[in-house]
Structure 1
Amino acid sequence: MYEIMLMLHVLGAVGMGFYVVLPIMIGKASNLAGVGQQGLAEGLLSANRIAQYFLILQFITGGYLMSQGDYAVAWMIIVTVLFLGIAAVGGIITKPLKLVVSSISAGQSTTAHIKKARVLSFIVLLLYIVNIYFMLFHF
């Protein structure tokens, strides 16, 4: 059972790899015209939703793996807080991406929404990298 959960956990980590390319993809949005920005934002919304499902997989499998291992309490708290941070900020990114889509439909500027989404995507990337570090070098 442990090996199956570990495989699912690694699969979930790969699925969360979307957050590595998200800042790059959002950065390209400012170079596109209105319809292109709208299409990109809609695609990123769909991909973010899939990544959120992978987060649920990570939560379930990670909880099981922590219960089977001998980890320090501080390490478990750190990785759980990092994970919840990724989940929270990953969910918060949804709003500015939706606002990009609605602003284009209304003929308004999307610059502020794209900038906000880009900052949030860098925060998620940072949390994701720190979380990977703690997964590799646990104490």
Structure 2
Amino acid sequence: MVQVLLYLHVLGAIMMGFYLALPFLAARVEALPTGTGQFGFLNVLFALNRVGQLALVISFLSGGYLVSKASYSVLWMVLSVVLFLAIGAVSGILGKKMRVALSDASGSGIKGQIGSIRTLSTVVGVLFFLTVTVMKFPNLF
């Protein structure tokens, strides 16, 4: 059972790897021609954000089981949970901003939201990087 959940945990982490590329992809939205090009690209980023959120839930649940089967420090467990919750919160806010930007099919709402989308994508990318670092080096905490 542990091996199956470890597989799901790693698979979820791989699926969330999109968050490392998201700041660069969000910056690319501005470089595209306004209108349908930006709308289509942001629509893909919105769908990938949803996949990342699903992967986050899978990793969180499988990680909870894996932590119960091993001994980790309390600090490491608290950091892990806080980072997972922070990624969930920021990616949820990011999804809301994307949904607002995509509310008009002509792409006219993107210009007003792209600044916050870029900022939030950078924050979620940094949080994911910190999460991977904390997961890789649990003995430091």
Shared fold per TM-score greater than 0.5: yes
1:12 is aligned to 12
Deviates more, 1:44-53 or 1:77-86: 44-53
Q: How does 1:113-124 map to 2 (within 5 A)?
A: 113-124=113-124
Amino acid at match of 1:96: K
What is the TM-score with the length of structure 1 in the denominator?
A: 0.93
Query: In the comparison of the two structures, how many residue pairs are matched?
Result: 138
Runs of 4 or more, structure 1, over 3 Å off, are none
User: Can you give the 5+ residue segments of structure 1 that lack an aligned partner in the other structure?
Assistant: none
Paired residue for 1:101? Answer: 102
- Partners in 2 of 1:66 and 1:37 — Cα distance? 42
* Counterpart code for 2:93: I
The residue number in structure 1 matching 2:76 is 75
Alignment of 1:16-55 (within 5 A): 16-33=16-33, 34-55=35-56
Amino acid aligned to 1:62: G
Could you tell me how far 1:102 is from its partner in structure 2?
Answer: 2.4
Provide the rounded CA distance (Å) in 2 between the counterparts of 1:101 and 1:38.
7
- 2:58 paired with 1:57: yes
Amino acid at match of 1:10: V
Unaligned runs of 5+ in 2: none
1:56-92 Cα shifts (integer Å, max 9, x gaps): 1011101001111100111100110001000110111
1:100 Cα deviation from its structure 2 partner: 2.0
Relative to structure 1, the CA distance from residue 15 to residue 109 in structure 2 (aligned partners, 3 Å threshold; closer, same or farther) is closer
Distance in 2 between residues matched to 1:64 and 1:109, nearest whole Å = 42
Q: CA-atom RMSD, angstroms?
A: 1.4
Secondary structure (helix, strand or coil) at the match of 1:95 reads helix
